[in-house]
A and B are shown apart, each in its own frame.
Chain A
Amino acid sequence: MMISPHRTKSLRKALAVAGLSAAVAFAGTANARTTQAEIDGDAASTGDVLSWGMGQQGQRYSPLKKINTGNVKKLVPAWSFSFGGEKQRGQEAQPVVKDGKMFVTASYSRLYAIDTETGQELWQYDHRLPDGILPCCDVVNRGAALYDDLVIFGTLDARIVALHQDTGKVAWRAKIDDYKAGYSFTAAPLIVKDMVITGVSGGEFGVIGRVEARDAKTGKLRWIRPSVEGHMGYIWKGDKKMENGVTGKTNASWPGDMWKTGGAATWQGGTYDHETDLIFYGTGNPAPWNAHLRPGDNLYSTSTLAIDPDSGKIAWHYQYTPNDGWDYDGVNELVSYNQGGEKLAGHADRNGFFYVLDRTNGKLKNAFPFVNKIDWAKGVDLKTGRPLETGVRPGDPAKSKDGKKGEVIFVAPSFLGAKNWMPMAYSPDTELFYVPANEWGMDLWNEPITYKKGAAYLGAGFTIKPLNDDYIGALRAVDPKSGKIVWEYKNNAPLWGGVMTTAGGLVFTGTPEGYLKAFDAKSGKELWKFQTGSGVVGCPITWEQDGEQYIAVPSGWGGAVPLWGGDVAKKVKYLNQGGSLWVFKLSDV
């Protein structure tokens, strides 16, 4: 039975029905605090959603099956909530739920607490954003983390803010970095061993990626691990900041001093695997954009880093795109799962390949394409773990003879990726990954006449182009063992929202056309859809409350596609913005 101690009505009902003692009521109050043990058990618990990924391993799988393939047709709205104001744009958040309260973030660094029974707002926090922030890729936020009586989230001006769950009052705040230097923060924080783990956003301008751990109660730094070789890591013993070893080996894979400004931003959220006790964090592309200037693998850009949460040191790494020349960020999530007695992890990269790693040591177990067209590599060598490149790389602008527009190359996937930030799901029932993929490529050329900050510059031009007339997005059920695509659902617009799967045999995801859709996890048959009024690029969740299963998803079209999408942006220009949250349950009739 669920007890919702903050609601006296339910509590009274519970006391009356079960004749509970005062001691239990006291325990109920204590339950309002989110413990690390509860967060570690989030994937299995059905009455709450406490973490990004619906469990820190990131499977986005719920054992709930009250809503299932047989009755999903009867799913109807329970309530809807408007984020209000004039601010809309992309709503990419995953809500969290605890004790009858939902916490959901929205564009422009806003956070809402909502009563999950009535859909009424409890409080709202609007982070005051300074003038002069220049976020690269829309003003999104991907969600908050719960810990103790706090709800913690990051902001566009690179701050992290912890609010009291009951009041929305600020408990602590910390500066991740200087927004004026190009830093930002849009990912959902991760809570590991009473620490809040974050990365940094900011793709260019000499930003260096890093993963940081702070005391979740106070915001005080515990350790910093830079993601580019040559940079010193730090750990705090009490209040004392101590050197904690350099990341990698200086100048092993970077020339000159370029590692000092090497990029590899950790702009997406990480996952945590309690079985191996490792934090998995993805890194972005290396800087500068022209790969010819930085011969070498440029570690640890376009990689997953496995970090020991106690020491703040890198246990292992796997790099997806060495010496990246196509802007294939490696930030996509690494999802832990067990199969055939092995501790594995899956990752669907921007570069078009799906990777299966041994998550105890980072060794490559399998790699295969999950999109139809990959031009830059013909495969991944399972022995060496390195891509088998085709040689389709952008030309060296220094070698352009006449200063005219360089040769145009077409390469798929586009830099927006075979899969972008939107998280996939894994079902231990079907043993399939459900990957929100996109089929698109890009024209790339060197621009002879470009300017930056009023100065002549060597730039590159690009245009993203669809590969097919009838679809860009493709939700694909991927068998990590065989590398086969078991089923696919094609979508006209690019998919940009998270995926969720349930023990009810269902897969949920949203579309930019405005639908939240449910599919049969085994066959891919579309079983249900609901038009939310604006594009769905958020992440669905599910939880149980008072004996009923609920499903929630934010709605509001935006994100990087309309800003960067080239020909694709034109194709989806008709889509309207929005800003709301939809909650569904089974109809009583």
Chain B
Amino acid sequence: MYRIKELLIFAAAIASLMLQSPATADEEPSALDRIRERGVLEVAVYNDFPPFSFRDERGRIVGIDADIARALAKSLGVSAAIRAVGADESMEDDLRNNVWKGHYLGGGVADLMLHVPYDGAFAEENDRVIFVAPYYREQIVVAVEKGVGASLDPLDYFSREKVGVELDTLTDFYLLSAYNGKIRNQVVHFSNIGKAVAAMKRGEIAAVAGPRSEIEFALGDLADSYAVGPIRMPGLRTSGWDLGAAVKKGNSALAEEVEKAMTQLRQQSSLSKIFANYRSSYQLPSQTKLVGVESNGRISQRD
């Protein structure tokens, strides 16, 4: 059964290939041509990263990013090959390892990477990739038991109560340094948000601070018992950021197709449905209407 489905996808890919006008003979085939010829779009997503990309009981990579990758591939008339990658020390490393150069251990690069920040200043610093298709906005929030949420004064509350964070993240560093370190001793570190939320459910800590989607997914059935929302974070420079996709510089035809496909997914509400499937509320990226992408990878104002 599965095989037949694969064959059908393959046939569809061939058909879509035949409909296209062939590239000029002396031209190198573009990345997009090669993807269509292969019938496969290879997409890099982070491993062990619920609700975006993680393995289900059967070992299949599922999650918001995995579903978006499959939906994008479908729009391009190909199937998706999901490459689950480990996060290196910085986003620059991840883009080098997975988008434009490949890791020195080998394995090459993927056609596309998801969960890449869509930020003009960051794009300026990373000119070997094209940043496209912003698809949602992540936001730092705090989850606490209902009733506390509305009136939460961070300094007062966290001087008394313990707050869980994911180790080595913006939220972690913020809370350790906020109010001149006054709440530092109340910060409890976990290797991921899932574990922090589990500790909160057990009553070991009073709150969890971190990215909204990860917290909402981890709360699961108990979401109604907790208030989830932004709090006052004096001195924190960034409390939200847009996320999109990245392709290697030079692959502008692919970038444009991905941009188009993502816009379509958003307009058809497919994105919000995918987020809802993973119990996360969908937030539009702030920049969809404002920026476009030039072939040199720079993000610019669009009229």
In the complex, A527 has a CB within 8 A of chain B: no
Q: Are B116 and A454 in contact (CB under 8 A)?
A: yes
Q: Are A455 and B211 in contact (CB under 8 A)?
A: yes
Given A132-B47, A205-B168, A456-B241: A139 and B189 interface contact (C-beta under 8 Å): no
Given A255-B184, A292-B177, A295-B181: A453 and B94 interface contact (C-beta under 8 Å): yes
Q: Are A206 and B105 in contact (CB under 8 A)?
A: no
In the complex, A449 has a CB within 8 A of chain B: yes
Q: Which residues of B contact A511 (CB under 8 A)?
A: none
Min Cβ gap A561→B in Å is: 14
Which A residues from 123 to 160 make CB contacts under 8 A with B? 129, 131-136, 138-139
In the complex, A201 has a CB within 8 A of chain B: no
Q: How far is the CA of A295 from the CA of B125 in the complex (A)?
A: 32
Q: Which residues of B contact A89 (CB under 8 A)?
A: 104
Q: Are B169 and A452 in contact (CB under 8 A)?
A: yes
Q: How far is the CA of A257 from the CA of B190 in the complex (A)?
A: 10
Q: Are A256 and B116 in contact (CB under 8 A)?
A: no
Which B residues from 168 to 199 make CB contacts under 8 A with A? 168-170, 172-174, 176-178, 181, 184-189, 191
Interface residues on A, range: 35 or more
Q: Are A206 and B191 in contact (CB under 8 A)?
A: yes
Residue of B nearest to A457 (CB): B170
In the complex, B110 has a CB within 8 A of chain A: no
Q: Which residues of A contact B85 (CB under 8 A)?
A: 132
Q: How far is the CA of A243 from the CA of B170 in the complex (A)?
A: 36
> B90's contact among A290, A398, A450, by CB below 8 Å, is which?
A450
Q: Are A261 and B189 in contact (CB under 8 A)?
A: yes
Min Cβ gap A267→B in Å is: 16
Min Cβ gap A329→B in Å is: 16
Q: Which residues of B contact A293 (CB under 8 A)?
A: 173, 176-177, 181, 184
Q: How far is the CA of A459 from the CA of B117 in the complex (A)?
A: 15
Given A256-B184, A257-B188: A453 and B167 interface contact (C-beta under 8 Å): no
Q: How far is the CA of A578 from the CA of B31 in the complex (A)?
A: 33
Min Cβ gap B165→A in Å is: 10
Residue of A nearest to B113 (CB): A454
Q: Max chain B CB contacts within 10 Å: which of A256, A403, A456? A: A456
Which A residues from 450 to 470 make CB contacts under 8 A with B? 450-459
Q: How far is the CA of A132 from the CA of B83 in the complex (A)?
A: 11
Given A287-B168, A293-B176: A454 and B185 interface contact (C-beta under 8 Å): no
In the complex, A258 has a CB within 8 A of chain B: yes
Q: Are A136 and B89 in contact (CB under 8 A)?
A: yes
Given A132-B85, A257-B189, A260-B189: A456 and B170 interface contact (C-beta under 8 Å): yes
Min Cβ gap A32→B in Å is: 37
Q: How far is the CA of A258 from the CA of B175 in the complex (A)?
A: 13
Q: Are B238 and A206 in contact (CB under 8 A)?
A: no
In the complex, A286 has a CB within 8 A of chain B: no
Given A89-B104, A205-B168, A453-B46: A396 and B177 interface contact (C-beta under 8 Å): yes
Q: How far is the CA of A288 from the CA of B177 in the complex (A)?
A: 12
Q: How far is the CA of A414 from the CA of B178 in the complex (A)?
A: 29
Q: Which residues of A contact B241 (CB under 8 A)?
A: 451, 455-456
Contact with A along B78-91 (1 / 0, CB 8 A): 00000011111111
Q: How far is the CA of A294 from the CA of B185 in the complex (A)?
A: 10
In the complex, A63 has a CB within 8 A of chain B: no
> A206's contact among B167, B170, B178, B188, by CB below 8 Å, is which?
B167
Q: Are B117 and A451 in contact (CB under 8 A)?
A: yes
> A449's contact among B47, B121, B177, B186, by CB below 8 Å, is which?
B121
Which B residues from 239 to 273 make CB contacts under 8 A with A? 241, 243
In the complex, B101 has a CB within 8 A of chain A: no
In the complex, A439 has a CB within 8 A of chain B: no
> B177's contact among A129, A131, A398, A453, by CB below 8 Å, is which?
A398
Q: How far is the CA of A403 from the CA of B178 in the complex (A)?
A: 15
Min Cβ gap A586→B in Å is: 39
In the complex, A520 has a CB within 8 A of chain B: no
Which A residues from 336 to 355 make CB contacts under 8 A with B? none
Q: How far is the CA of A257 from the CA of B164 in the complex (A)?
A: 11
Q: How far is the CA of A133 from the CA of B121 in the complex (A)?
A: 30
In the complex, A441 has a CB within 8 A of chain B: no
Q: How far is the CA of A454 from the CA of B138 in the complex (A)?
A: 10
User: Per DSSP, are chain B's interface residues mostly helix, strand or loop, or mixed?
Assistant: mixed
Q: How far is the CA of A294 from the CA of B117 in the complex (A)?
A: 29
Residue of A nearest to B103 (CB): A134
Q: Which residues of B contact A261 (CB under 8 A)?
A: 167-168, 189
Q: How far is the CA of A295 from the CA of B184 in the complex (A)?
A: 10
Q: Are A204 and B89 in contact (CB under 8 A)?
A: yes
Min Cβ gap B200→A in Å is: 15
In the complex, A397 has a CB within 8 A of chain B: yes
Q: Are B189 and A258 in contact (CB under 8 A)?
A: yes
Q: How far is the CA of A459 from the CA of B184 in the complex (A)?
A: 19
In the complex, B115 has a CB within 8 A of chain A: yes
Residue of A nearest to B107 (CB): A131
Which B residues from 210 to 230 make CB contacts under 8 A with A? 211
Q: Are A451 and B90 in contact (CB under 8 A)?
A: yes
Min Cβ gap A262→B in Å is: 10
Q: Are B237 and A448 in contact (CB under 8 A)?
A: yes
Q: Which residues of B contact A397 (CB under 8 A)?
A: 173, 177
Contact with A along B116-147 (1 / 0, CB 8 A): 11010110010000000000001000000000
Q: Which residues of A contact B211 (CB under 8 A)?
A: 455
Min Cβ gap A327→B in Å is: 12
> B187's contact among A181, A204, A257, A398, by CB below 8 Å, is which?
A257
Q: Max chain A CB contacts within 10 Å: which of B84, B116, B169, B173? A: B173
Q: Are A134 and B88 in contact (CB under 8 A)?
A: yes
Given A205-B168, A206-B167, A398-B235: A450 and B188 interface contact (C-beta under 8 Å): no
Q: Which residues of A contact B121 (CB under 8 A)?
A: 449
Residue of B nearest to A396 (CB): B177
In the complex, B100 has a CB within 8 A of chain A: no
Which A residues from 155 to 193 make CB contacts under 8 A with B? 180-181
Q: Which residues of B contact A454 (CB under 8 A)?
A: 46, 91, 115-117, 138, 243
Q: Are A256 and B115 in contact (CB under 8 A)?
A: no
Q: Are A455 and B167 in contact (CB under 8 A)?
A: no
Q: How far is the CA of A256 from the CA of B48 in the complex (A)?
A: 27
Q: Are A132 and B86 in contact (CB under 8 A)?
A: yes
In the complex, B54 has a CB within 8 A of chain A: no
Q: Which residues of A contact B170 (CB under 8 A)?
A: 455-458
Contact with B along A321-343 (1 / 0, CB 8 A): 00000000000000000000000
Min Cβ gap A134→B in Å is: 5
B residues in contact (CB < 8 Å) with A: 46-49, 84-91, 94, 103-105, 107, 115-117, 119, 121-122, 125, 138, 167-170, 172-174, 176-178, 181, 184-189, 191, 211, 235, 237-238, 241, 243
Subset of 29 A-B contacts with CB under 8 Å:
A131-B107, A132-B47, A132-B85, A135-B105, A136-B89, A205-B168, A206-B191, A255-B181, A256-B176, A256-B188, A260-B189, A261-B189, A290-B173, A292-B177, A293-B173, A396-B177, A397-B173, A398-B173, A403-B237, A449-B122, A449-B125, A451-B90, A451-B122, A453-B115, A455-B138, A455-B170, A456-B238, A457-B90, A457-B173
16 other A-B residue contacts (CB within 8 Å) besides A131-B107, A453-B91, A457-B170: A129-B105, A256-B186, A258-B176, A261-B168, A290-B173, A290-B177, A397-B173, A398-B173, A451-B90, A451-B117, A451-B122, A453-B94, A455-B138, A456-B238, A457-B173, A458-B174
